[in-house]
Chains A and B, each alone.
Chain A
Amino acid sequence: EAQVTQNPRYLITVTGKKLTVTCSQNMNHEYMSWYRQDPGLGLRQIYYSMNVEVTDKGDVPEGYKVSRKEKRNFPLILESPSPNQTSLYFCASSFNQKGPGQPQHFGDGTRLSIL
C-alpha cells in the first residue's frame, strides 16, 4: 500500500531535549516536504526536498533541521525544541515538483507538545 509513514504519532517532551520525527515513503517519490499545522493558520511549509541531498527552506524553517540522505526518508530534527514548536506536523511526498498537477500525499501527522 502506498503510504507516507511518520513516527512518532504523538510526543510530549520538554524544552531543549533534541528530538527527531521520522518520515518514510514507499512510492519512490523524489519530492518530500514537512509542514506544521496550527489552528487558524492552516499548514505552513517548514522544509522541502526536491531530491536526495537537495533541501531548501519553506516559510517557517527556524528551529528545524532536515536531511535527505536516502530517497525514501526525510527526518525532521528539532535540536533544541521550544514551546512555540508545539504543533501538528505533517510529512508529504510527491513524484516530483517539476511539472504540472503533482499532488502531495500526506502522512497521518505527528502531534508534538513541548513543555
Chain B
Amino acid sequence: SAVISQKPSRDICQRGTSLTIQCQVDSQVTMMFWYRQQPGQSLTLIATANQGSEATYESGFVIDKFPISRPNLTFSTLTVSNMSPEDSSIYLCSVEDSGLREAFFGQGTRLTVV
C-alpha cells in the first residue's frame, strides 16, 4: 500500500488569492491524480499528473486555474488560482498501486474561500 501525506489539511483563504496543495507519497508512482469533492458531492477528477510531462486535465478544468507540478515520482502540487467562493471544496490527491487494483487517497485539503 501507499502512504500519502497531503498538506495543508485545511485553509481559509481570501478570494483572489492562490493556494498550493502538496502531496507526498512514500513510494515512486507513475501517475498521481487530483480530485475535487464539493460539499455533499462525490469526487470529480481534475487532472492526472505524470512525471516529466504536462498534466492531463479533464473537461471543465484548465491549467491556468489549476496549475500542477510533478517534479519527481513521489511528489506533486496543485495550485488553486485566483480563488472564488465557488472553489470552496475538498481537494484530494490519489495514486494507484502498481497492479492497478487499488487507489489510495491523501487525507484531503478542506478549502474555504471567503
Is chain B a partner of chain A in the same complex? no
Residues of A within 8 A of B (CB): none
